[in-house]
A and B are shown apart, each in its own frame.
Chain A
Amino acid sequence: MGVNDPTVLRLIYKMPPASPNPPHSLLSLSLFLALEQSAMALRALFSKKTLTCASSFAPVSACLDRCLGSRVRQDRALTLAALPDLAYDYGALEPVISGEIMRLHHQKHHQSYVTNYNNALEQLDAAIAKGDAPAVVRLQSAIKFNGGGHINHTIFWQNLKPVNEGGGESPHSSLGWAIDEDFGSFEALVQKINAEGAALQGSGWVWLALDKTSKKLSVETTANQDPLVTKGATLIPLLGIDVWEHAYYLQYQNVRPDYLKNIWKVIDWKYASQVYETATA
């Protein structure tokens, strides 16, 4: 997915390099261990991570585990998600989206997704370390929901731009031509997205998606906070519009079509074009 932007979540489970020749002698064992520990310490120094409890405080058991070929991973750092900042003020998208909605949407809803995702991650980490498979499986829905919410909203903030900074200008060059080719015209695309967004029952998102392999554009919808990849592993989101009620209810009440009609005034097509060009390069 098009999440190469540094402000986007990077979750990396750092795994120790698989040692092809497990050390057998005691000397090489302690040397190996010392190297691991110093590598751990260096990593910790140069990046902001939380170390799991199981890591640098159990060198002896780690050593034994390696000897015995145990599959318990001891050295792992957990990168937690963080709420990204908006590139514009909360009130900058008025009158299309009110400042109150933007503030609540960012500070309350997106923040709660981030918080709950991080909690779920930490619980997952503990469950993996313990080998607690039922707990790992039970946490998947919370991770999918909250992680998806974080991913989707991060993309959404980048899809929006105040009018005086270029929001609403229709796409040109390669993305513009691709839209004309795959949908007939820009207006047809807007109609299609509005129709699918309005018809979506309950909560969800409507996307302009690029298929990485076929280089074709398509309009997709996902339910709740499912990210676009749940609709296809090769799909990259260029544009996502939140049609959860919290995204518009305070201003448009239940008239979702009005919200969809107006949001085009603040869509940042430059960002979508960037993602498109990177993906089709």
Chain B
Amino acid sequence: MALSLGSSSSLSLASPFSALPGQAAKPPSISSSAAGKIFLNTKSIEKKHLRQFQKATKVLSYYGLTSPPYKLDALEPYISRRTLELHWGSIHRGYVDSLNKQLAKSTLYGCTMEELIKTTFNNGNPLPEYNNAAEIWNHDFFWESMQPNGGKLPWGGLLQQIEKDFGSFSNFRDEFVQTAITFFGSGWVWLVLKTNEKKLSIVKTSNAVCPLVWGDIPIINLDMWEHSYYLDYKDDISKYVNNFMDHLISWHSATGRIVRAEAFVNLGEPKIPVA
């Protein structure tokens, strides 16, 4: 994602110091507080190599929790600080911790969260890590799909594309709100760019499913799990969705995402002036 370089990236900890042929070294263990900073004490590592015999190199993946790009009370009064404290601090963090625990015992690792999601989705037969990985990605995407003083209208190319694919912005808005209000169960509502049909579309997914697994490019998402609105809105889903559309949705992020998406999807012929 263009706007969040380096987020949720894995660190592969294969030791580069295989001193003797035929012998692999155990990589230095890294505590969670030191994630992101690898301390290399060359002398002690080489000593360890000499002492250890035939220990396989262990490659680990580790994912970190990224923070929303705003303070936790920045979305008041539409989403309260308490909700974000729980939603991000407890639930989102919980997914990260669970995933790291699972990965400690599994042979999976991906270079990016997106690759991990596609791998663990396993073409519709998801592996246990899928739920955690996808929910981490979905929530990261969600925090960035919102901003303080958001809402209002998109502009430029994104607005043109919306008008092209939905008829008008208000058609798009109505369809999005309607999809969210008639949601059965837990899941997410997405504005995606469909790579095959080359158009924007509104999609709903249940539980942790993410449109990335179908090769589509998400532009905006909205968390329809009850924990994301229950404290603030109780069962009044309509108010939650309307507030999201009017005051929270970040068209800045959406624009950045669709600009990046255009590198992968041909959205139309370029306007080449005729000589």
Contacts and interface: CB of A to CB of B under 8 A. Distances in A.
A253 B86 contact: yes
B262 interface: no
Interface stretch (A126-134, A228-236, A244-252): A244-252
A246 B227 CA distance: 8
Interface residues of A, number: 19
B184 A202 contact: no
B90 A254 contact: yes
A72 to B, nearest CB: 31
A202 B227 contact: no
A145 interface: yes
A246 B226 CA distance: 7
A151 to B, nearest CB: 15
A245 B225 contact: yes
A153 to B, nearest CB: 13
B90 A246 contact: no
B86 A254 contact: yes
Interface in A176-217: 201-203
A104 interface: yes
| Most A C-beta atoms less than 10 A away, residue of B91, B187, B207 | B207
Contact of A250 (B90, B184, B231): B231
Contacts of A249: 226-227, 230-231
Given A141-B184, A201-B207, A246-B226, 5 more contacts: A201-B131, A202-B225, A249-B226, A249-B227, A253-B90
B230 A202 contact: no
Contacts of A245: 186, 225-227, 230
Given A112-B235, A201-B131, A254-B90, A244 B226 contact: yes
B206 interface: yes
B51 interface: no
A141 B204 CA distance: 15
Given A223-B185, A245-B227, A201 B90 contact: no
Interface of B: 86, 90-91, 94, 131, 184-187, 206-208, 225-227, 230-231, 234-235
Contact of B208 (A104, A201, A224, A250): A201
A141 B206 CA distance: 14
Contacts of B186: 202-203, 245
Given A245-B227, A246-B230, A254-B227, A202 B86 contact: no
A108 interface: yes
Contact of A225 (B184, B207, B231): B184
Contacts of A253: 86, 90, 227
Interface in A24-56: none
Contacts of A225: 184-185
A224 B185 contact: yes
A246 B185 contact: no
20 contacts: A104-B234, A108-B235, A109-B235, A145-B184, A145-B185, A202-B185, A203-B185, A203-B226, A224-B184, A225-B185, A244-B226, A245-B226, A245-B227, A245-B230, A246-B226, A249-B226, A249-B227, A249-B231, A253-B86, A254-B94
